[in-house]
Each structure stands twice: as C-alpha cells, then as structure tokens.
Amino acid sequence: MSEERVWTVEIVLTEASEQTQANAFLRGGERELSGWGRSRRNPADPDVPLVGDELAAARALADLAHQLVLAALDTIEAFEPAPDPQQVPRAPSPRDARGIPPVS
C-alpha cells in the first residue's frame, strides 16, 4: 500500500509600481521552506501584470526548488557516517613540496 503525502505551496505576489515580488512558501511534513523572486517591467513594454506575476512566481519557485535540494542534501549528510580520519588521504601541502616536516 502506498502512502500519500500532501505538500502545499503558497505564492504571495506583491506589486509596487513597475516591480512584482513573489514569495513562495512550501509546507510539507516537518519542512517549511521559502523562495523569493522579482520581476521588473521595462517602461517600454506593455502593461500586462500577468507577465510580471508569472516571471516573479517562476523565479520564486526556482529559488524554492534550490532550497529544497539543499535541504535534501543536509538530510542525506546527516545519515552518512563521518569519514575515518585514518582512511581519508591527506592532500599534499605546499610544505611537502619544500621538504618542510609537517607540524604535529
């Protein structure tokens, strides 16, 4: 049996003069993330508010997607065991090239 989860995204658009700002909020499970985007109308372009809304919302959703990827990476890293310092190869330092012994 599959389990269904619902995540909700709310986009709030604010228009001021020639700019539209969008804030996208994701609520899902224990997560609450937000993204932000803005669009600006060129004064030479026709006044079509829907275009500004769409661009600002798309940019906010792209930012939200980026935040979601970062959150997933944080979660993955939390489950990975810490590397064993004895097993991790040490990168050579500039001291090695000059024959200076490492600092203990």
Q: What is the pLDDT of residues 8-29, one digit of tens each?
A: 999 999 998 889 999 999 998 8
**What pLDDT sits at residue 101?**
57
Torsion over CA of 60, 63, 65 and 68, rounded to 10 degrees?
A: -120
Q: Rounded to an integer, what distance in angstroms lies between the CA atom of residue 94 and that of residue 45?
A: 57
Q: Considering only the top CATH level, what class is 1-71? A: alpha beta
**What pLDDT sits at residue 48?**
85
Say if residue 100's pLDDT is above 60: no
**What pLDDT sits at residue 36?**
97
Q: Rounded to an integer, what distance in angstroms lies between the CA atom of residue 79 and that of residue 84?
A: 15
Say if residue 33's pLDDT is above 90: yes
Torsion over CA of 95, 101, 103 and 104, rounded to 10 degrees?
A: 150
Structure tokens belonging to residue 52: 């500004």
**What pLDDT sits at residue 31?**
85
Per residue in 62-98, pLDDT (tens digit) is: 999 999 999 999 989 888 777 676 776 666 666 566 6
Beta bridge mates, 23? 12, 36
